[in-house]
Amino acid sequence: MRKKLIAGNWKMNLTIPQSVNLSEQIKNGIKDIKLNNIEVLVCPTYVSLYPVNEVIKDSGIKSGGQNMYFENEGAYTGEISAEMLKSAGCEFVILGHSERRKIFNESDELINKKVIKAVDSGLTSILCVGETLEERESGKQNEIVKTQIEKGLSGITVDKLKNIVIAYEPVWAIGTGKNATPDEANDMHKFIRNIIADLYDKKSSDEIKILYGGSLNDKNCKDLLSQSDIDGGLIGGASLKSESFLKIIETSNNL
């Protein structure tokens, strides 16, 4: 059985004291919830990673970066490496988020280099894929997602897949308050699982975790997270308040 993953993407929000405060609230809230088959992850900004990790160590909550570069070190001003994320306490890294693809022009080829580096370094890579509204309206969503997965996972061998999580995040649902319906999301998750079966094998497609992201909140999480092929959520806005994030964790834990 796939363990559910509830991941908070804090994006470029919260100062260090605010991040520490939020992580303390999540840590304290989680003590009252007996976590069953579920993992909890927070992805603060780079500067908050170390202080947040100091708070959450031994709590069972994990942390991840929101991005990284594929080189080890050197003259790459403004970038951060896999080893640096690990040294701050991270086990995960989000790669290919639609905001990185759109605002920072990240290509599938660049994202693939990062995915390979992350996995080779022992980080679990959350590879984000998803279509824009225009692409969905012209019926191209499957084609787009398939290309993003094939290119994003190029060179990743079957033994490395255990360090890959896929996040399906329709771009039109991110930060808009308009989530995909449970059926729309589950259909895409099944489609993604079939792509993995074609690229690798049935066992890998059964085992890989596929998260849904896009306006997931404490109100709609039950319907979305109870779908057969949705293994958790990548959550932006609703992860910035402990009440809503804890509610999503609790709901998912009780499914």
* Of the candidate residues 8, 9, 55, 211, the single one contacting ligand PEP (CB under 6 A): 9
Residue 216 interacting with ligand PEP (CB under 6 A): yes
Based on the residue annotation, tell me whether 169 is a catalytic residue of this protein. Answer: yes
Name which of 94 and 195 has its Cβ closer to ligand PEP. 94
Tell me the closest approach of the beta carbon of residue 173 to ligand PEP, in angstroms. Answer: 6
Residue 180 interacting with ligand PEP (CB under 6 A): no
Q: Considering CB under 6 A, how many residues would be counted as binding ligand PEP? A: 14
∠ CA 9-51-250, rounded to 5°:
45
Q: Which residue is nearest to ligand PEP (CB)?
A: 236
Residue 148 interacting with ligand PEP (CB under 6 A): no
Closest alpha carbon to 134 in 94, 170, 174, 99? 170
Residue 170 interacting with ligand PEP (CB under 6 A): no
φ and ψ at 95, to 5 degrees? -130, 145
Give the span between the Cα atoms of 37 and 3, in whole angstroms.
5
Amino acid at 213: G
Amino acid at 182: P
Residue 244 interacting with ligand PEP (CB under 6 A): no
Residue the block writes with tokens 């993407």: 9
* Residue 4 DSSP SS3: strand
Residue 44 interacting with ligand PEP (CB under 6 A): no
Q: Give the distance between the most distant pair of CA atoms in the chain.
A: 48
Stretch that binds ligand PEP, among 29-37, 74-82, 108-116, 169-177 (CB under 6 A): 169-177
Amino acid at 34: K
Name which of 122 and 175 has its Cβ closer to ligand PEP. 175
Give the span between the Cα atoms of 59 and 54, in whole angstroms.
10
* Of the candidate residues 14, 118, 171, 235, the single one contacting ligand PEP (CB under 6 A): 235
Tell me the closest approach of the beta carbon of residue 171 to ligand PEP, in angstroms. Answer: 10
Tell whether the torsion through CA atoms of 99, 100, 104 and 105 is positive or negative: negative
Active site amino acids? 97, 169
Which residues of this protein are in contact with ligand PEP, per CB under 6 A? 9, 11, 169, 174-175, 213-216, 234-238
